[in-house]
Amino acid sequence: MESLFKVTKAWKLTFPGAHAGVLVMKDVLNPASHAGLERRKKALLEEIRSRYGGLDRSQLKTLPHLQLYDAYYKRFKKTFHIQLQLESIAFNGKSIPSVSALVEAMFMAEIKDMLLTSGHDLDVLQLPIRLDVTKGDETYTLMRGQPQQVKPADMIILDGTGIISNIIYGPDQRTQIQPGTRNVLYTTYAPAGIREQAVMEHLQNIREYVRLFAPDAHTEMLQVFG
């Protein structure tokens, strides 16, 4: 699997100190729900509300990972969506969206670790995939079916067909996780300042959640690039 993921020279030059994490798991399952995952999600939500519920919004924004993503997003005049999700859970009693087990495992780890991640059906991808920098003239179809032109100088991941995700606009529709997904790819974008070990632990958390409902799944790749 070494040849699955390529990092371009342009990305390294544009984003010194940044990292990207890659987790590939095969022979997974993707149930609509799973009791063990629901229990872990409930415990996670209680932990978040206990830890952050007493803070205000300005205090929450000082959390290290949120600060680093906030600085990145501000360059594009956008707000880090995980920050908004964390606020809704900690302050407003909201939950993590119920989609499917493979997606919820990713959402749970995103909220726990505050690291931006996208999930894809590995079997739909035209390998290899590559981490690159947007020029600003590229377009792709968002998950909700809307065409989107990207902004210049953003991080981007592409396969042989086109864009599968970028930081500002998120994952694509073409390679999204489906009910029948049996081999999955998760990728994490980490701006400069986020430690490599933090990205590795985040991917391990996703893997732990997936193994709750897919105990026979095996890890094909678990690696952090920078």
CATH of the domain at 156: 3.50.40.10
> How is 81-146 classified by DSSP, letter by letter?
HHHHHHHHHHHH------S-HHHHHHHHHHHHHT-EEEEEEGGG--S-EEEEE--S--EEEBTTS-
Task: Give 26's contacts (C-beta < 8 A, 6+ positions apart).
Answer: 122, 182, 183, 217, 218, 220
| Domain total of the chain | 1
Task: Indicate the pTM of the whole model.
Answer: 0.97
Q: pLDDT tens for the chain, 226 residues: list them.
A: 557 999 999 999 999 999 999 999 999 999 999 999 999 999 999 999 999 999 999 999 999 999 999 999 999 999 999 999 999 999 999 999 889 999 999 999 999 999 999 999 999 999 999 999 999 999 999 999 999 999 999 999 999 999 999 999 999 999 999 999 999 999 999 999 999 999 999 999 999 999 999 999 999 999 999 9
Query: Which residues constitute the domain of residue 92?
Result: 2-225
Q: What is the pLDDT of residue 2?
A: 53
